Amino acid sequence: MLFKYKGFDKTGKKIKSKIEASSLQEAKFKLKSQKIIVISLQEDSFNFLNKLPFQNRHKIKPQALATISRDLSIYLQSGISLLNAIKLINERYKNDRKLKHFFSAIIDFLDEGKNFYTSLDMQKVVQLPEFYLQSIKISEDGGMLQDVLIELANYLKEQDRLNKQISSAMAYPIFILVVSFFMVGFMLSFIVPKITAIFEQYDQALPTITTIVITAGNFVQNNWNLILISIFAIISLFIYLMKKSYSFKYKIDRFLLRIPFIGSLIELGELSRFAYMNSILIKSGVPVVQSFKLGSNILKNSVFKKLFEEASSKVVEGEKLSKILERSTIYKVDIAFIQAIAIGEETSQLSKILQNLSELYSQTNNDKITLFLSLLEPMFMLIIGAIIGVIVVAMLLPIFSMNFQ
Residue 173: C-alpha distances to residues 80, 178, 184 (Å): 48, 9, 16
Mean pLDDT for 96-109 is 85
Q: What is the DSSP letter of 55?
A: G
pLDDT, residue 201, reads 67
Residue 26 pLDDT exceeds 80: no
pLDDT for the residue 56: 52
d(CA 183, CA 179): 6
pLDDT over 70 for what percent of the chain? 91
What pLDDT is stored for residue 403 in this prediction? 52
What digits encode the pLDDT tens for the residues 235-245? 999 999 988 88
Give me the pLDDT at residue 47, please.
Answer: 44
Q: For 344-378, how does the pLDDT look when each residue is reduced to its tens digit (9 = 90+)? A: 888 888 888 988 888 888 888 888 888 887 787 78
Q: Tell me the pLDDT tens digit for each residue of 52-75.
A: 443 456 778 888 899 999 999 999
Q: Where are the alpha helices (DSSP H) in 245-297?
A: 246-258, 262-283, 288-297
- Structural contact between residues 31 and 9, judged by C-beta atoms closer than 8 angstroms: no
Residue 1 DSSP class: -
- 155: buried, middle or exposed (CB in 10 Å: 19+, 13-18, 0-12)? buried
Q: What does DSSP assign to residue 298?
A: T
- For the chain, give the mean pLDDT: 80
State the distance between the two ends of the chain, measured CA to CA, in whole angstroms: 84
How confident is the model over 228-253, as a mean pLDDT? Answer: 91
Nearest to 301 by CA among 332, 258, 267, 324: 267
- Residues 61/163, Cβ–Cβ less than 8 Å: no
CA atoms within 13 A of residue 308's CA, in its CB half-sphere = 26
CA distance 60 to 105: 15
The letter for the amino acid at 96 is D
With contact defined as beta carbons under 8 Å apart, do 276 and 268 qualify?
Answer: no
pLDDT higher at 287 or 21 = 287
